Structure 1
Amino acid sequence: METKKVWLVTGASKGLGLTLVKKLLENGYRVAATSRNAHSLVEAIGVASGSFLPLEVSLTDDDAVKAAIDKIVMHFGKIDVVVNNAGYGQLGTLEELSDAETKENFDVNVFAPLNVVRHAMPYLRSQKSGNIFNIASVGGIFGSFAGWGVYCATKFAMAGFTEALAEEAKEFGIHATVVYPGYFRTDFLTAGSLKTPKSAIQEYAAARQSEQAHLNDINGNQPNDPEKAADVLIAISEEENPPVHLLLGSDAYDMLQNKIELITKDAEQWKEYTVSTGY
């Protein structure tokens, strides 16, 4: 009987990552999971075994990521599926977020998953197979949310590098998918996972209203089930030709349609200028 695939899931101590790891283990897959605190993984899932490897990794440390991936291959013999799930939400308008706050969000949401890709690819290339899921957000499709510009920019970046990765990796039999979840009922919108600006400017009424709505009203009332999202990711990993773009949630689908309509409207309205630049 074929041995089930080995998965690497980052940011696995809570939210969608934790749900996915539990479901994978229930279904007989072998899983390496990372968190900033290995104790939280052991507490939530269990100790290291033949099917589970908890790892404490600072994903923004390139050397630490390489060491972790080498350790996974030593433990399980290979890696088949990589899920770049770790990340956090950063609220704040472009004016009020500091350089440090902005760079930190990019470090965790963009440069950390690039570290994982960089060091997983040699193993995936050598075996001529694999899947990489980069978990972005509907904010990686549609950025018209006051107070979410930096966060959306990190997710737009993830979408962009995943599109390129899909082209680079396909000649090796490796599939790359950018995942755009809508609102899922996890702890993403809790104070521990969603950062607010250190120096808020109260004049930004729309941003402040969005901040309060996400922390107080939307949190706990999200329309999507993380258990079902985990089922979808597992199913997609077994597809022969998985998509480059995967939306999760009817709200994500609706936002895509809104984005298409907005871009098309602008393109058509200003087409005379657009096509006027040729020689």
Structure 2
Amino acid sequence: MSKIVLITGASRGFGKLWAKALLERGDKVAATARNLEDLNDLVQEFGSNVLPLKLNVNDRTACFAAVKTVKDHFGRIDVLVNNAGFGLFGAIEETSEQQARAQMETNFFGLLWMTQAIVPVMREQKSGHIIQVSSFLGLVTLPVLGLYNASKYAVNGLSETLQQEVAGFGIKISLIEPNGFSTDWSGASAVQTEANEAYTPVKAAFFEGTTPDSWGKPETTVPAFLELIDAENPPLHFLLGKIAYPVVKQVYAARLAEMEQWNQTAVTAHGH
């Protein structure tokens, strides 16, 4: 049986790639983008199997309306892929209020609004899979991406809580947590802060630490994404790429060691 999948941010990157893969195997896809023209190629190739929707996920009312449109059109929604988002590059001190709020509005609040809109539909169906496209930077951090890190930590905290709340309704939650991939995330879609030369050495060290091998190939994620979509018992945390797991493992081991070192002091603070 084909799946009905709603994907936000389907105009480029992972969203476009995964939407096309689903359509090629016979699923039906509701694809959202801020500019409908960016979805014309999918419509021309796959016709009525794709429902293009203009959507800015920052608009909560529009998110609820989009979910209703998809439900009315296809009759159900099996999977939501919350993919809309962008990267903000720059030191925390450099970040303007507008940039900070815009980062959280799209990466966190946009995802929250879509999640709130889809849960009643899936709760009524007694089934569904919500896939949040987060990042391994929702588990560990890198300099020069402070607000992006923060937005993805928020997504992870929200989604881990959501899993506990909706499991009884037959709704599954997965966080896709990629390392760096060669998508528009760090290119055309990215926003840069106004540079403060005090952070030049930090930025230089950050970029010197990356190599061509650090960036995965977006097209090779398709089989893994489809396996996740089809899994009977999908994972909550799905680290995507070969860099993410060893980095997370190393950072978590260091965190636990530090906590252990200070644990006796922490225990005495409990008072009894």
TM-score of the superposition, structure 2-length normalised? 0.93
Does the 8 A contact of 1:9 with 1:82 survive in 2? yes
Give runs of aligned pairs for residues 150-189 of structure 1, distance below 5 A: 150-189=147-186
Aligned equivalent of 1:252: 244
Aligned equivalent of 2:221: 229
Q: Aligned partners of 2:222, 2:143: CA distance in 1, in Å?
A: 30
Code of the aligned partner of 1:162: S
Give runs of aligned pairs for residues 185-196 of structure 1, distance below 5 A: 185-190=182-187, 192-196=188-192
Aligned equivalent of 2:7: 9
* SS of structure 2 residue aligned to 1:86: coil
Q: Aligned partners of 2:258, 2:43: CA distance in 1, in Å?
A: 49
Distance 1:213 1:107, change over 3 A: farther
Does the 8 A contact of 1:90 with 1:150 survive in 2? yes
Code of the aligned partner of 1:136: S
2:119 to 118, 121, 126: 121
Q: Which moved more, 1:59-68 or 1:45-54?
A: 45-54
Give runs of aligned pairs for residues 57-68 of structure 1, distance below 5 A: 57-68=55-66
The alpha-carbon deviation at position 132 of structure 1 amounts to 0.5
Code of the aligned partner of 1:133: I
2:269 to 265, 269, 277: 277
Code of the aligned partner of 1:245: H
The alpha-carbon deviation at position 38 of structure 1 amounts to 0.7
Q: Aligned partners of 2:75, 2:17: CA distance in 1, in Å?
A: 24
- The count of aligned residue pairs is 271
> What stretches of structure 1 of length at least 5 have no aligned partner?
none
The alpha-carbon deviation at position 76 of structure 1 amounts to 0.9
> What stretches of structure 2 of length at least 5 have no aligned partner?
none
The alpha-carbon deviation at position 185 of structure 1 amounts to 2.3
Distance 1:56 1:48, change over 3 A: farther
Give runs of aligned pairs for residues 77-156 of structure 1, distance below 5 A: 77-143=75-141, 145-156=142-153
Q: Aligned partners of 1:263, 1:36: CA distance in 2, in Å?
A: 40
* SS of structure 2 residue aligned to 1:94: coil
Does the 8 A contact of 1:140 with 1:156 survive in 2? yes
* SS of structure 2 residue aligned to 1:151: helix
Cα deviations by residue, 1:157-196 (Å, 9 ceiling, x for unpaired): 0000010111111101010111110122222211x21111
The alpha-carbon deviation at position 41 of structure 1 amounts to 0.9
Cα deviations by residue, 1:189-214 (Å, 9 ceiling, x for unpaired): 11x211110x3211113443267559
The alpha-carbon deviation at position 45 of structure 1 amounts to 5.0
The alpha-carbon deviation at position 265 of structure 1 amounts to 2.0
Cα deviations by residue, 1:43-76 (Å, 9 ceiling, x for unpaired): 3553784310111101100111111111111211
Q: Aligned partners of 2:147, 2:113: CA distance in 1, in Å?
A: 20
Cα deviations by residue, 1:74-113 (Å, 9 ceiling, x for unpaired): 2111110000011000012121101111010000000001
* SS of structure 1 residue aligned to 2:48: coil
Structure richer in helix, relative to its length: 2
Q: Aligned partners of 2:252, 2:152: CA distance in 1, in Å?
A: 18
Aligned equivalent of 2:199: 204
Does the 8 A contact of 1:166 with 1:175 survive in 2? yes
Distance 1:155 1:210, change over 3 A: farther
Does residue 18 in structure 1 map to residue 13 in structure 2?
no
TM-score of the superposition, structure 1-length normalised? 0.91
Q: Aligned partners of 1:206, 1:243: CA distance in 2, in Å?
A: 38
Q: Which moved more, 1:13-22 or 1:46-55?
A: 46-55
Does the 8 A contact of 1:185 with 1:222 survive in 2? no
